[in-house]
Amino acid sequence: MAQKLAAGNWKMNGTEASLAEIDAMIAAFPAPGCKVLICPPATLLERLSRRAGNGPIATGSQDCHMKASGAHTGDISAEMIKDAGGSYAIVGHSERRTDHGETDAIVCAKAEAALAGGLIAVVCIGETEAQRDAGETLDLIGTQLAGSIPEGVTGDTLVVAYEPVWAIGTGRIPTIEQITEVHDFIRTRLIERFGAEVGAAVSLLYGGSVKPSNATEIFAVENVDGALVGGASLKASDFGAIIDALQKA
């Protein structure tokens, strides 16, 4: 069985003052019935990790370079992430794919680097609105799965996050039927490639305008094991409501 995971991606948001939200989350969920992850901007990763300590909240990075070290200005390696207290790395987010031209091959190399550095890789996939309208969603998802996920993963080292690009930050979400179709497809492909034991153990997250008002309905979908949450993860009250919905799912 895949583990439930509520993951927050703070993106390019947050300063020292934002860490008070972590204190509120820890106070509200001293022993949550699911895994909780926060991926802050790199400037806050060490401070947030120290704040979280050995408590219920894990921390991670929003990216991970494919190389262990070197002349890569502005980038962060798996070793650096782990040294700062992180245990996860998001790779292949649509904003990285779009803003920085990251291909499936680059995403796969970053996932490999994360795994080699002892991190859990959160691999993001998802279609654009044009691809959805053209009926290309499953073909695109299949291609991204095949090209972005390295060999040798397990349910303990890989998380897959489906985030339709057209739903991120827009307030729009796919229908429950559309989410079900894509998540069932992902699960089937993972089982076909890695075997039933591994394929069934990988946590599948839905992302894209997840908020307290729709979380319960989304988490009721069979192959949705949690969420990758953007804006709603910045406030303990909102993210806490999503965590609570996941615990009850």
Tens-place pLDDT, residues 223-236: 999 999 999 999 99
**Tokens matching residue 131:** 């691809």
Q: What is the mean pLDDT of the chain?
A: 96
| 183 annotated active-site | no
Q: How many residues belong to the chain?
A: 249
Q: Does domain 5-248 have CATH number 3.60.40.10?
A: no
**Tokens matching residue 138:** 């499953």
| 163 annotated active-site | yes
Q: Taking the domains of the chain in order of start, what are their residue ranges?
A: 5-248
* pLDDT at 175 > cutoff 90: yes
Strand partners, 204: 160
pLDDT band at 29 (very low <50, low <70, confident <90, very high): confident
Share of the chain above pLDDT 70, in %: 100
Spot the catalytic one: 102, 112, 163, 183.
163
Residue 126: closest CA among 190, 204, 215: 204
CA 243 to mean position of chain CA atoms: 14
d(CA 247, CA 134): 36
Spot the catalytic one: 21, 65, 93, 95.
93
Q: Kindly report, residue by residue over 51-108, the tens digit of the pLDDT.
A: 999 889 999 999 999 999 999 999 999 999 999 999 999 999 999 999 999 999 999 9
Q: Is the dihedral of CA 175, 177, 178, 182 positive or negative?
A: positive
This model's pTM is above 0.85 = yes
Contact 203, 3 (CB under 8 A): yes
Q: Kindly report, residue by residue over 191-209, the tens digit of the pLDDT.
A: 999 999 999 999 999 999 9
CA 41 to mean position of chain CA atoms: 14
Going through the chain in order, the beta strands assigned E by DSSP cover 5-9, 35-39, 57-61, 88-91, 120-125, 158-162, 203-207, 226-229
d(CA 160, CA 7): 12
Contact 212, 147 (CB under 8 A): no
Amino acid identity of residue 246, one-letter, is L
